Amino acid sequence: MKIGTSAFQIGILGGGQLSKMLLEPAYRMGLHPLVYTDSSQDPAASLSPDAVYGQARDLVSLRRFLSQVAVCLFENEFVDCDLLEVAARGLNVEFIPALQTLKLLQNKLRQKKLLSSLEIPSAAYQEYDPKIESVKAWALRMLGEFNQGLVFKWAEQGYDGKGTFIVPAGAGTPGSKSGLEREVVSFCEQAHERGLPLFVEEKISFVRELAVIGCYSKSDEFTAYPLVISEQEKGICRKVLGPASLWGVSAELQAQAKAAAHKVAREARLFGCFGIEFFETHEGELLVNELAPRVHNTGHYTQDASQTSQFENHLRAVLGHPLGSTQSEPCFGMLNLLGPGGVAVPSASVRLPTSTSESHFHWYGKNEIRSGRKMGHFNLTARTPAELQKSFQKIETLLQAWAKEIRTS
């Protein structure tokens, strides 16, 4: 393929902020992607005048979209691969990642089995088998067996803390917390009613959470961005600090993270940029938490701190072009802007935050600010960790004032 040979050489399935951030470098590269989304109010729609509008399960609209593109990319992995296979039947369109790859990685149980086959460490787990026992009996049995703490997970459709139920160590002793037992059983029954596979993991006691963005090209070239620290708030990535080496993460763990990303990409034929989240344990081990087969929140800093952003390299990789340099600033960070608690207001009715002298603000253009919703992010660069932390504090102060202004307006 050659860049620019077709107006709609690339299509992007999904119109959220990740799609919007893919469009921005695409236009600079001379590409004109076609977006499929369900509303003209979605973030990417403002940058895609030819967008095709339709629901996720609208076969007619999906087929119209797929008939106009040579390559279809995914904003996220929450798609029906079987439906897409039907929609693309007889059409000359290539899905990247391939539907087979996406089927493998959109399911966290299959992720665990892939990691095991590649001898990449992750938390111990047990899968629920409805042929053996009821979901309630299984949930209560797991509460008794994992007395060091456990995490119940839906194998599919879970993100940003959704589809996850954490039970602290000692809280799961049967009969000790009847309210907790009811909550756990309810969580598991919800998955069972939706037909979602269910499993439980040992809760890892960790020093910190880490993440790496890998990039694997169709020409078999691989690269990775620096390992970073990821700080979570209610299951949502709130802050990224990098490179992790500035905060005491060893070169050995950095090498392990990069090697794990390369192994996964090569084995699963996972083309493009993707994210892997890790736990750094108190024993100095690196355990994989989850994989995301797409551009990832922990790599947003690359827009302003790296020579080539994850979004540009994603496009380069899927087209088989040489990957750009992942060299990044000596010290950098990212802060997600989440909707303030208890808020649901039209974005047009409030003043937006602005960049500081130390940061670049990226607004997603969503039409409503809601509690906990990702509305944008700040990318920061600095010379030292201390300088970076001061910049974070300055932005946090500004955001506190912004949240107060929204609540009182």
> Looking at residue 392, which CATH number applies to its domain?
3.30.470.20
| Residue 133's CATH number | 3.30.1490
When the pLDDT of each residue in the chain is averaged and rounded to a whole number, the result is: 92
252-299 pLDDT, tens digit per residue, is: 999 999 999 999 999 999 999 999 999 999 999 999 999 999 999 999
- Same domain? 264 vs 338: yes
Q: Of 185, 202, 219, at which residue does a domain stop?
A: 202
pLDDT of 313 over the 50 cut: yes
Bond into 97 cis (ω within 30): yes
Q: HSE of 281 in the Cβ direction (CA atoms, 13 Å)? A: 14
- Same domain? 187 vs 213: no
331: helix, strand or coil = strand
Q: Is 335 inside any structural domain?
A: yes
In percent, the amount of the chain with pLDDT more than 90 equals 81
Q: Are strands 150-154 and 164-167 parallel, antiparallel or unpaired?
A: antiparallel
Is residue 336 within 8 Å of residue 297, measured between CB atoms? yes
| Residue 32's CATH number | 3.40.50.20
Among 6-20, 53-67, 357-371, 390-404, the minimum mean pLDDT is found in 6-20
In percent, the amount of the chain with pLDDT more than 70 equals 95
pLDDT of 171 over the 70 cut: no
- Same domain? 380 vs 240: yes
Is residue 215 within 8 Å of residue 323, measured between CB atoms? yes
204-213 pLDDT, tens digit per residue, is: 999 999 999 9
Q: Is 176 inside any structural domain?
A: yes
Q: How many Cβ atoms sit within 10 Å of the Cβ of residue 298? A: 26
Q: Is the dihedral of CA 361, 363, 364, 369 positive or negative?
A: positive
375: helix, strand or coil = strand
CA–CA gap between residue 57 and residue 46 (Å, rounded) = 23
Q: Is the dihedral of CA 386, 387, 390, 395 positive or negative?
A: negative
Beta strands in 49-149 (DSSP E): 52-53, 71-74, 94-95, 125-127
| pTM, two decimal places | 0.92
118-161 pLDDT, tens digit per residue, is: 999 999 999 999 999 999 999 999 988 877 789 999 998 877 66
**Which phi and psi (to 5°) does residue 45 adopt?**
-60, -35
Beta strands in 106-147 (DSSP E): 125-127
**Which phi and psi (to 5°) does residue 393 adopt?**
-60, -40
Q: HSE of 52 in the Cβ direction (CA atoms, 13 Å)? A: 24
- Same domain? 290 vs 389: yes
5-54 pLDDT, tens digit per residue, is: 444 689 999 999 999 999 999 999 999 999 999 999 999 999 999 999 99
Q: Is 135 inside any structural domain?
A: yes
CA–CA gap between residue 45 and residue 35 (Å, rounded) = 7
197: helix, strand or coil = coil
3-state percent helix, strand, coil for the chain, nearest multiple of 5? 35, 25, 40
Number of domains in the chain: 3
